[in-house]
Amino acid sequence: MPVVRTFLVTVVLLAAAAAGGTYMVQNRLADAAYVSLDDAVLTADALPVGSTGAGVVTEVLVAEQARVAAGQELARVRLAENPARPARSPRTETLRAPQPGTVSRIDIAVGGVMSAGEPIVTMYDHTRLSFEAKATEEQLRDLRLGMAAKITGPGLSRPVAGTLDHVKPRVGADPMLDAPLTEEQKVAHERLTVVLVPRTDDVDAVSALVPGLRYTVEVDTNTAVGRTPAVNSAG
């Protein structure tokens, strides 16, 4: 009986070790299937709204982060007299939203003086937000355009599904050719900006967020097999 008991204990221990080893391998493979991009910033294209002429802001009719409809009144300004027609009295111009969107910033408060075309209210399209994250060239080699991603962070009760849309090309002169750089500067230069867009069914969850907040992105490298490598799309 002692021999049998010893044999059974040995079998159980070997089985547990094998299961533990399998679990560790599976976890390592799962980790290897994802590329983690930290500090992904939620971004939006700015839509400035200004007056046709110089003058003074007399009313601001919206607040920051307010949702507005196309054509909604945003502000009123009193235009300065036109020197070419001094007899004409100053007139009031009403600024309206050129499209639906969200007010991101009031650039000039009531009483402020502005020039022609200077932004008074800045908007953005909350249905077209994207996430921008920095990635090294080594990370980009594992990424493909169209890969699926999970985005987590402030304001999200659950991970948001996204897609790797494109990589911003590096522009401007190469600083590596100029004065010597610190190691930190070299690392920053080597990183490129990866742009991810929320999946259609998650646009509403993202539209409630405020641009500028930072998120974590996990890109699934098992998706978009055969698509264009991200490192080749950066130019």
**pLDDT for 179:** 56
Q: What is the rounded distance in angstroms from the CA atom of residue 147 to the CA atom of residue 192?
A: 17
Classify residue 174 as exposed, middle or buried by CB count within 10 Å of its CB (0-12, 13-18, 19+). Answer: exposed
User: Quick one: pLDDT at residue 169?
Assistant: 86
Predicted pLDDT at 109:
97
For the chain, how are helix, strand and coil distributed in percent, rounded to 5?
25, 35, 40
Q: Report CA Rg, the chain.
A: 27
Alpha helices in the chain (DSSP H): 2-32, 137-140, 183-190, 203-207, 230-233
Cβ atoms of residues 146 and 226 within 8 Å: no
Domain positions in the chain: 33-44+127-233, 46-124
Q: List CB contacts of 68: < 8 A, sequence separation 6 or more.
A: 62, 74, 97, 100, 101, 102, 103, 123
Selection from 154, 157, 94, 98 nearest residue 125 by Cα: 98
For residue 25, the model assigns a pLDDT of: 38
CB 107 within 8 A of CB 122: yes
β-sheet bridge partners, residue 55: 79, 114
Evaluate the CA torsion angle 235, 135, 162, 26 in order and state its sign. positive
User: Distance between CA atoms of 81 and 96, rounded to whole angstroms?
Assistant: 22
**What pLDDT does 27 receive?**
47
In CATH, which superfamily holds the domain spanning 33-44+127-233? Efflux pump adaptor protein, beta barrel domain (2.40.30.170)
Secondary-structure class of domain 46-124 per CATH: mainly beta
Do the domains spanning 33-44+127-233 and 46-124 agree at the CATH topology level?
no
Q: For each successive 10 residues of the chain (235 residues), what is the average pLDDT?
A: 55 52 46 86 97 95 97 96 66 96 97 95 97 94 95 96 92 53 54 95 94 97 85 66
